[in-house]
Amino acid sequence: MKEKILKAFEESISVKDKFVKDNIDAIVEVSKVIADTFNDGKKLILFGNGGSATDASHIAAEFVNRFKKERPSLPAIALNTDMAIITAIANDYDYSDIFAKQLKAIGSEGDIVLAISTSGSAANVLKAMDVARKKKLRSIAFTGAKGEKFASKATYAFIVPSDNTPRIQETHITLGHVLCQMVEEILFEAPRKK
């Protein structure tokens, strides 16, 4: 049992290590883009299914409440949290419309979308990315090694080099935390005295 535990941790570390080495410049760029979005009075709109839904909600909460710094709330919303809206859309239209219809309603020029799909094949996420493109919203995709089609729909894409769902999700939430930390530092770091 200990060997399996060690192997799981070693795999997680290895995937994250390769991911960050391949994506460090993009992480810096996206941190600045999200900070600029908030500075411009616009919002971050997040969504995903299953574990990715909870990651979207978790990241939205870190921005709205706080991450590490005491600071004003930042406008972020996860589209997977309102059961009345989700079930109404799924019932009256189709489950593949649950994020697209919401994005059509609340997405405004200057907003940025963060869509999460470990497989990159979730129909509702792909449809919402098409809406983001039509509305000229910048978008960020978090996905795994098989998510190239999904990633191609995004302005910025983070592809975790794995097809193991737990390892992909572990990397996604670490990336979400790092983006929260960097945005807080960009927006709220006290200027240093010379």
| 101-141 confidence digits (pLDDT tens) | 999 999 999 999 999 999 999 999 999 999 999 999 999 99
CA–CA dist 155, 151 (Å, integer): 8
pLDDT at 97: 98
Distance CA 60, CA 45 (A): 8
In the predicted structure, residue 192 carries a pLDDT above the cut 70 = no
| Contact criterion met (CB below 8 Å) for 110 and 86 | no
Judged by DSSP in three states, 158 sits in: strand
Which fold, 2-188?
Answer: Rossmann fold (3.40.50)
The pLDDT value recorded for residue 37 is 98
Measure the CA–CA gap between 158 and 169, rounded to whole angstroms. Answer: 12
**Average pLDDT of 26-30?**
98
Closest CA to 183 of 72, 98, 105, 108: 72
Residue 190 pLDDT greater than 80, yes or no: no
Residue 194 has pLDDT above 80, yes or no: no
Is residue 71 pLDDT above 60, yes or no? Answer: yes
Domain range summary for the chain, segments of one domain joined by +: 2-188
**pLDDT digits 0-9 by tens, 142-179:** 999 999 999 999 999 999 999 999 999 999 999 999 99
Q: The whole model's pTM is what?
A: 0.94
Structural element, H or E, at residue 139: strand 138-143
3-state secondary structure 105-120: HHCCCCCEEEEEECCC
Tell me the pLDDT of the chain averaged across its residues.
96
Residue 34 has pLDDT above 60, yes or no: yes
- State residue 189's pLDDT score: 84
**Conformational region of residue 138, where left means phi above 0, alpha means psi within -120 to 50, and beta covers everything else:** beta
